[in-house]
Structure 1
Amino acid sequence: MIKETAPSNIALIKYMGKEANNIPSNPSLSYSLPHLLTTVEISKTDASEDQWAALESEYAIELSEKGKARYLKFFKKLKDHFGLSSNYLIQSANNFPSDAGLASSASSFAALTKATYSLAKSELDTEAFQALGFTGEFITDREKLSALSRTGSGSSCRSLFDTWSEWQTDFAVEESFSYSKLLHLAIIAEEDKKEVSSSDAHIKVKSSLLMEGRTARANKRLADLKNALNEKSWEAAFEICWAEFWDMHALFETSEPSFGYMTADSLMVLNECRSYWKANQDGPLVTMDAGPNVHLLFREDQKSCYEDFIKIFENKFKIWGSES
């Protein structure tokens, strides 16, 4: 039995809009969240085809028939790539709720890619494995695996890295900045399954007039954010991240027909964040994915600020935190 895990990630420069094979319309930059994990186990089965089942966990994964077919289709693609012919049982679990804007697709597809890579390493001889272009060292092979994982779920290509990663085209690469470790809080404004999946959002936003110029705006913010993170210009990073997630949500709201993820509670959380910054001239980086929940990232020296936000929201919302 093979067992692997992969983290969720939160993009600060967003991936929204894509071409064939999940090639992004614009670059993205993300931070991995190792406290939000998907676990995948793979074992051989005597069944006539590959199967999927949920592992026991507090947040049991409930895949629709469409979702299950997508996951197994991607596993078949990975098996073909590695030359694996047996049938297997895939079991997976998250330690956080799916479909609630916490990037469960990213972590689940990345974990499946890692697990299939480990499976191939255990079943193929060294020469056959290396003939596929892999060294057998995960750190060395991550970029190649990132390109593979991207074809299953675009944002999953960023969930193969420990902290920062940048995705431009085929694969993601590791990045490093002056802020090497951040604290994370996710304020869960709503746990219900999203009415519009992230995959559907990528298609729908093409109808927004604001898509014109989106790539240029994302490229500019990417360069500005990398500069701010390197120079420890935290307030500048906050402003860039704030503008970026609003840019993405504006695409949703101006699509034809329009759709959206923000709720009254989302807006309440955002207003609290802005008020905190105004009162203290400091605060967390704030962002949202394609969902109603708000993500906050803190410097390591902001533990008191981190605790302030827990106190602000703990009696109103469920909170997922890296320090809890």
Structure 2
Amino acid sequence: MNFSVTDNHFFKETSLLKEEKKGIITHRSPSNIALIKYWGKHGVQLPNNPSLSFTLTNAFTETKLDYQTKNETESKSEISLEFWFENKKNEKFEQKIRKFLESLLPTQPYLGFVHLKIYSQNSFPHSAGIASSASSMAALALCLCDLEKRLLNTLQNTEEFYQKASYLARLGSGSAARSVYSNIPITTWGKTDVVKDSSDLWASPYTLPIHDIFQNYQDTILIVSAEEKSVSSRAGHALMETNPFAKTRYELAHSNLQKLAFALENGDTDTFIEVVENEAFVLHALMMCSSPPFILMETGTLTIIKKIQAFRRETNIPICFTLDAGANVHVLYPNKYKKECLDFIDKKLKPFCFEGKYLKDHVSNQ
């Protein structure tokens, strides 16, 4: 599918832009936590292996886009942008968003026809150590697709609308491709035989059967560190190009996705735990095998992992962990064990969190 609007259709529709138009568009997008990790890319933000993620509920970004068409004398080849984060002008974020929008101009020229004011805020503290790029870029991409829809009368089909939003979000942040689908518990991104019609270009709702035990699955996010990562995810992805274990990793991701699909359908928490923890360990092992190598886990991360695994052995509660590309720990467990797990987290794991911080979240429900 071609999502460019630079063909004749666009230039026919530019007559719509001669009349002044203005409005406000608002979208909210959730964060997500990958169970099958995306690590390594090629081309323009294309994944080297498929990924699968839980869509979260309480951690989200809300973005408001205030737009007004430019007058006839103003340049249509430049981005006009003002950006506010948490009700304050943010030059650093504005530069990042401006660069992103400028990269879209060749294929989305309508962006040059409007003045944009963007207001963004998170439901979670920005300094809490939770990566917000997925939710923020997804919310922005949804706003941009709504803008195109209003200006050019395109994207009337719901599936096409969300596919393009995911496509644009991916160009800003790979994991953001999976965050455009609110209220969808699981999403996948990347071509795989396991999921029909999957694509490297955009993420899709996971349509295979999901056992009841994985409905409303809990994710308590332990903030081990609130400091900026020593190596960015962008740099980490680039290092996969020379990683000696890259080929094996990509093969493993396909295999693990098959196993996880079986576990999700059959309520097999043992296999779920095996795959999810393996994916977390492999992700960080790849970092340590990069050239140069780097470590994003902290001492508290390892201590928490050991305590989770010990608690699981002692209680037979199917609690497990996963890690993003950072030090913080996502503690995953079925809703039926919520009380026991939260008690354990508060008493045994909280002391290893930065300022005792952790966030309670759960997988989105349809």
Structure 2-normalised TM-score?
A: 0.78
Q: Is structure 2 residue 154 aligned with structure 1 residue 115?
A: no
Q: Is structure 2 residue 144 aligned with structure 1 residue 144?
A: no
Partner of 1:8: 31
Identify which of 42, 61, 84 aligns with 1:38: 61
Residue 92 of structure 1, CA deviation: 1.3
Partner of 1:320: 359
Residue 77 of structure 1, CA deviation: 4.8
Give the 3-state SS of the residue equivalent to 2:47 in structure 1.
coil
Q: Is structure 2 residue 206 aligned with structure 1 residue 175?
A: yes
Contact map agreement 1:28 1:166 (CA 8 A) in 2: yes
Q: Is structure 2 residue 103 aligned with structure 1 residue 73?
A: no
**Superposition pairs of residues 1-324 of structure 1, within 5 angstroms:** 1-44=24-67, 49-56=79-86, 64=92, 68-77=94-103, 81=108, 83-84=110-111, 85-98=113-126, 102-124=130-152, 126=153, 129=154, 134-135=155-156, 137=158, 141-161=161-181, 162-168=184-190, 169-176=200-207, 177-178=210-211, 179-311=214-346, 312-317=348-353, 318-322=357-361
1:287-306 CA distances to partner (integer Å, 9 max, x unpaired)?
00100000022222122233
Whichever of the two has the greater Rg, that structure is 2
1:170-199 CA distances to partner (integer Å, 9 max, x unpaired)?
111111421232111100000011121111
C-alpha distance in structure 2 between counterparts of 1:82 and 1:180, whole Å: 42
Code of the residue aligned with 1:233 in structure 2: it is: D
Contact map agreement 1:121 1:136 (CA 8 A) in 2: no
Give the 3-state SS of the residue equivalent to 1:189 in structure 2.
coil
Q: 1:114 to 1:183 in 2, by over 3 A?
A: same
How many aligned positions are there? 311
Contact map agreement 1:61 1:93 (CA 8 A) in 2: no
Q: 1:210 to 1:155 in 2, by over 3 A?
A: same
In structure 1, stretches of 5+ residues that fail to align are: none
In structure 2, stretches of 5+ residues that fail to align are: 1-23, 191-199
C-alpha distance in structure 1 between counterparts of 2:101 and 2:42, whole Å: 22
Q: 1:263 to 1:225 in 2, by over 3 A?
A: same
Contact map agreement 1:266 1:294 (CA 8 A) in 2: yes
Code of the residue aligned with 2:225 in structure 1: it is: E
Contact map agreement 2:67 2:114 (CA 8 A) in 1: yes
Contact map agreement 2:178 2:188 (CA 8 A) in 1: yes
Contact map agreement 1:78 1:113 (CA 8 A) in 2: no
1:138-179 CA distances to partner (integer Å, 9 max, x unpaired)?
x66322321222122111110012210011111111114212
Q: 1:61 to 1:258 in 2, by over 3 A?
A: farther
Code of the residue aligned with 1:92 in structure 2: it is: S
Identity %: 30
Contact map agreement 2:260 2:272 (CA 8 A) in 1: yes
Q: 1:246 to 1:160 in 2, by over 3 A?
A: same
Residue 82 of structure 1, CA deviation: 6.8
